[in-house]
Amino acid sequence: MSVENTQPSQAAAMEKSTSGLLVAGRPAGSARDLENVARRTVGPASRASSLSASLRSDVTELTVTCLSMAVGVGGDSTTASDADIAELGGRAAQWAREGVPLRAVLGVYHEGIQMGWDLVSERASSGGAAHLTKVAKAFVGLSERISTAASSSYVDELQAVASEHHTAAHTVVTALLSGHNARSVARQSGIELADSFTVLAVSIAAHPDESNPALPRAVTARRKLRRVQAELAIVCDRSPLSMLSAEGGTILVPGERDDEWVATLVERMSAAAETAVTATVATSSVNDVPSASDQVHELLDLAQQLRRPAGVYRMTDLVLEYQLTRPGPGRAYLSRVLIPLDNSPELLETLEIHINHDLNRQRSARQLHLHTNTVDYRLKRIAHLTGFDPTRPSGMRHLQAALVARKLEAISPSA
């Protein structure tokens, strides 16, 4: 608020409020003196910061406004008008949209108030303790009103910006997944699209609190989702494009990310959710996102049907299982390979555990609480009953495929 832009009545009040003040060792003759003080004080500090030239100008103008208001409170007036406070709140909202941190915004406001106190405190103390107390209380009240107005306006504007971005991002994700004019939609939404994406299908397990009858399930699930979304934004260099619910969904991360990066992302999402997270992943060009999304969600469904542990899976991890999801005579034949073991459940259990331990007899024996010789005996029985030797690579391939086919046939039988 420069002197030239000040209304006559406001300028007169500012002129009156400077009476008795000292600026640069001389009596302050006008409101322009206050403006010069603010510019000399704020100028060097703002130039040393990372603020742009336009924002540095805003800092100076805002400090002048706060300084003038503070001097007014220290003079004949003991309060600032609601209109003046609203003006400061409006400026905070502008800075929120420009990405200036709230700490920096409040720092500017408080700097102006502090400068005003430095100017009026000596004059106020000359009026006696009672007058000094009155002025000090007025300054505390002014600081509270400015901080409240600035914080409220800043947060309201930040929420509005976030809502706008969320709506735009949701629109772009929908266009990408449908394959309909994604680049055009992104341009209209102000979002830059990468040439390729890492596409994730995500399943988020229920948080233990969601089954607590004493807690609202919807509220607990919503809090879990917010934690996951916040962690997702932190991990990603720029905001990812996602469509998530409390149970999971789709995440599109710009660029091609390696296995380690994806594993770290899923681990941190799981830590934020405070529950297990399973993800399937593929990389894709921007035009192939729809097919990549369909594929990773199919892989995710398969991992859950086969009760795979939480973690990250790519096509290479589930290629055999993925191919066997296609019903047909081959899968039906494989599912019948293990029928001879139906009357010996301990043999089926031994076969599954042996496969899960990468055919390591010692680890299999430890989990089964058996001697390794007993494991060897059971593997020989499996070979005798099925005709496929689990100790030989060719036999194990058939038996592993048979286990997968058996589970899938139970879910979706071949015609």
pTM over 0.75: no
**How do residues 345-365 score in pLDDT, each as one tens digit?**
999 999 999 988 888 889 999
**Cβ neighbours of residue 212 under 8 Å, at least 6 residues apart?**
220
Residue 152, pLDDT above cutoff 50: yes
The DSSP bridge pattern shows strands 312-313 and 277-285 to be parallel
Cα 155 to Cα 101: distance, rounded to the nearest angstrom: 11
Predicted confidence band of residue 37 (pLDDT cuts 50, 70, 90): low
Mean pLDDT, rounded, of the chain: 80
Instruction: Using alpha carbons, select from 174, 168, 166, 167 the residue that is nearest to residue 192.
Output: 168
Residue 249, pLDDT above cutoff 60: yes
Radius of gyration of the chain (CA): 34
In this prediction, residue 400 carries a pLDDT of 87
At residue 285, φ and ψ (nearest 5 deg) are: -70, 165
**How do residues 103-123 score in pLDDT, each as one tens digit?**
888 887 787 777 777 777 776
Residue 15, pLDDT above cutoff 50: no
